[in-house]
Amino acid sequence: TDTIAGIPRPRLAAIATREAERYAASRPKAAEALAKGAGNYLGGVPMHWMADWPMPHLPLVAKAQGAKLTDIDGHRIDDFCLGDTGSMFGHSPAPVAKAIKAQAGRGLTYMLPTEAAMEAGRLLTQRFGAFRWQIATTATDANRFSLRVARAVTGRPKVLVFNGCYHGTLDDTMVELVNGTPANRAGLVGQVQDLTRAATVAEFNDLAGVEALLKQGDVAAILTEPVMTNSCMVLPAEGFHAGLRALATQYGALLIIDETHTISSGLGGYTAVHGLDPDMFVVGKCVAGGMPTAVWGMRQSVADRFAAYDETRESGHSGMGTTLSANPMQFACLTATLRDVMTPENYAHMEAGANRLATGLAAAITRHGAPWHVVRVGARVEFICAPGPLKNGTEAHAAHQPQVEAAVHTALLNRGCLIAPFHNMMLISPATTDRQIDRLIGAFDAILTDLFP
Ligand code: PMP
């Protein structure tokens, strides 16, 4: 067709070019620094996929505070990406910065706990519910270790995930449906295993599909986000989570809820706000205010089964836990975040700001007659360049418009607003102001004025 997401292709191309030129012209220092330093890195960047940001080249950050970034070319940027959730509570929240200073001279890693570790355990239970906790460094690892326990206690091989999911780089979940059949995800680097031997895939919001897979009797755990956030956002249908819980129980699989992104929902995450009842619970990224930390926990009933299992195995390499995890700096930051940052007041501010943003973006979409929609999960807002609501990962994949998104992201950054790359996600932190939100709405409206004249 000659339009894409409702925009005539030549118009989109012209605006993309205009915005790319404007971006490049305003960031000579970043371009020069990248040209000088990039040769030392694979693909010119410290993580290869940083090269996939849609701008002509990356900005280099000089500093960040609250909901603002300053780049080395002197641009002050309203940050709605917030490290794709790692900094959802703002950059360097004051209680966390203070905790880092206090711990900085007392050692950074010992493989032994601290008093703060004991306090963190208490706060985790208070905030997220009665789980037996473990500390990891990334949500990827927290999911990986949860799956190990689920397989150990059930004696079954498979994880059931939803098409289009993302739970980190653990291999087990890197599967997708191809014409209705599970297969390794396209694009995996160097993957030589057939991942479908230990994973299976259903569509989100399809309880009948889930039941058909559980009936085979080889599923150790269902691993899901409460809301699919990693493609275009997909909300659970009424009764979906209750249905998952009931089916998991009926067929003897564990239910693992990954709250790494949906912790935006409110105090205690989507699980607390919507009364979910998982067997295992995972959250990472922002849980220690941006200090690399993740936690995973299991109900006492699972802990009891694991204890029985643990007695039957040789002691030694379990395949769980990494050297730098559960270090004193993580506990200092985890304690500070749970106590002083994840507060009802902060969540109320985030919720109100996100509501303001979602309402403003939706109004702009309506005003311009764009065939787009907006979804919100607490402090997390996404505009999607297709009609909605979306039902599952297949629909979310089809709704994704990388060309449109690339032009819009660059245009937003030219207007001082950074949103998360690879989709259209925006986060509201406790430090984000109404003025910043209104600037983003204004910039979005101006871009739609160009795209839908
Ligand atoms: N779970 C979910 C739901 C995520 O979105 C992500 C990362 N985007 C992860 C796990 C993995 O987090 P990390 O990259 O910190 O390991």
- Pick from 141, 167, 232 the residue to mutate for probing ligand 1's pocket: most ligand atoms within 8 Å of its CB: 167
Instruction: For residue 358, give every residue at least 6 positions away whose Cβ sits within 8 Å of its Cβ, in sequence order, or none.
Output: 374, 375, 376, 381
CA distance 59 to 24: 10
Whether residue 285 has its Cβ less than 6 Å from ligand 1: yes
Whether residue 423 has its Cβ less than 6 Å from ligand 1: no
In this model, does residue 1 exceed pLDDT 80? no
Q: How remote is the CA of residue 191 from the centroid of ligand 1, in Å?
A: 19
Instruction: For residue 14, give every residue at least 6 positions away whose Cβ sits within 8 Å of its Cβ, in sequence order, or none.
Output: none
For 66, the token pair is 């609250």
Query: What average pLDDT does the chain have?
Result: 97
Q: What percent of the chain has pLDDT over 70?
A: 100
Alpha helices (H) along 133-228: 139-154, 207-214
Q: Is-contact 253 286, C-beta < 8 A?
A: no
- Pick from 261, 293, 322, 423 the residue to mutate for probing ligand 1's pocket: most ligand atoms within 8 Å of its CB: 261
Tell me the C-alpha to C-alpha distance, in Å, between residue 263 and each of 153, 287, 291, 396. Answer: 27, 9, 16, 21
User: Can you tell me the mean pLDDT for 21-46?
Assistant: 95
Among 324, 341, 358, the domain-final residue is 341
Whether residue 88 has its Cβ less than 6 Å from ligand 1: no
Among 289, 320, 341, the domain-final residue is 341
Whether residue 264 has its Cβ less than 6 Å from ligand 1: no
Q: Is-contact 384 233, C-beta < 8 A?
A: yes
- Pick from 141, 166, 293 the residue to mutate for probing ligand 1's pocket: most ligand atoms within 8 Å of its CB: 166
Q: What is the pLDDT of residues 266-285, one digit of tens each?
A: 999 999 999 999 999 999 99
Residues 49 and 175 in one domain: no
Q: How remote is the CA of residue 169 from the centroid of ligand 1, in Å?
A: 8
Residue 165 alpha carbon, nearest atom of ligand 1: 3
Residue owning the nearest CA to atom 1 of ligand 1: 167
Residues 109 and 198 in one domain: yes
Residue 424 lies in a domain: yes
Residue owning the nearest CA to atom 10 of ligand 1: 167
Q: Is-contact 294 282, C-beta < 8 A?
A: yes
Residue 230 alpha carbon, nearest atom of ligand 1: 5
Whether residue 146 has its Cβ less than 6 Å from ligand 1: no
Q: What is the pLDDT of residues 295-307, one digit of tens each?
A: 999 999 999 999 9
User: Can you tell me the mean pLDDT for 160-187?
Assistant: 97
Residue 87 lies in a domain: no
Q: What is the pLDDT of residues 348-358, one digit of tens each?
A: 999 999 999 99
Q: How remote is the CA of residue 138 from the centroid of ligand 1, in Å?
A: 8
- Number of domains into which the chain is organized: 2
Residues 197 and 332 in one domain: yes
Residue 285 alpha carbon, nearest atom of ligand 1: 15
Residue 84 lies in a domain: no
Residue 202 lies in a domain: yes
Residue 308 lies in a domain: yes
Residue owning the nearest CA to atom 14 of ligand 1: 168
**Residue scoring higher pLDDT (422 or 272):** 272
Domain around 127: 94-341
User: Can you tell me the mean pLDDT for 396-401?
Assistant: 96
In this model, does residue 341 exceed pLDDT 80? yes
Residues 134 and 181 in one domain: yes
Q: Give the CATH number, domain containing residue 405.
A: 3.90.1150.10
Residues 394 and 282 in one domain: no
Residues 200 and 296 in one domain: yes
Q: CA quadruple 83, 88, 90, 95: dihedral positive or negative? A: negative
Residue 262 alpha carbon, nearest atom of ligand 1: 3
Q: What residue type is 325 in one-letter code?
A: S
User: Can you tell me the mean pLDDT for 232-238?
Assistant: 97
Residue 89 lies in a domain: no
Residues 157 and 299 in one domain: yes
Among 325, 341, 357, the domain-final residue is 341
CA distance 146 to 331: 20
CA distance 352 to 430: 10
Give residue for tokens 């998952």. Answer: 244
- Pick from 137, 140, 324 the residue to mutate for probing ligand 1's pocket: most ligand atoms within 8 Å of its CB: 140
- Pick from 227, 262, 264, 285 the residue to mutate for probing ligand 1's pocket: most ligand atoms within 8 Å of its CB: 285
Least confident of 30-44, 121-135, 275-289, 360-374: 30-44
Whether residue 259 has its Cβ less than 6 Å from ligand 1: no
Residue 168 alpha carbon, nearest atom of ligand 1: 11
Residue 86 lies in a domain: no
In this predicted complex, what is the ipTM?
0.99
pLDDT band at 130 (very low <50, low <70, confident <90, very high): very high
User: Can you tell me the mean pLDDT for 84-103?
Assistant: 98
Residue 85 lies in a domain: no
Q: How remote is the CA of residue 361 from the centroid of ligand 1, in Å?
A: 26
Whether residue 258 has its Cβ less than 6 Å from ligand 1: yes
Q: How remote is the CA of residue 166 from the centroid of ligand 1, in Å?
A: 7
Residues 372 and 337 in one domain: no
How many CB atoms within 10 Å of residue 43?
12
pLDDT, position 38: 87
In this model, does residue 402 exceed pLDDT 90? yes
Residues 276 and 386 in one domain: no
Whether residue 144 has its Cβ less than 6 Å from ligand 1: no
Residues 51 and 102 in one domain: no
Q: How remote is the CA of residue 227 from the centroid of ligand 1, in Å?
A: 13
CA distance 166 to 140: 10
Residues 335 and 354 in one domain: no
Q: How remote is the CA of residue 83 from the centroid of ligand 1, in Å?
A: 11
CA distance 442 to 69: 19
Whether residue 224 has its Cβ less than 6 Å from ligand 1: no
Q: Give the CATH number, domain containing residue 227.
A: 3.40.640.10
Residues 326 and 362 in one domain: no
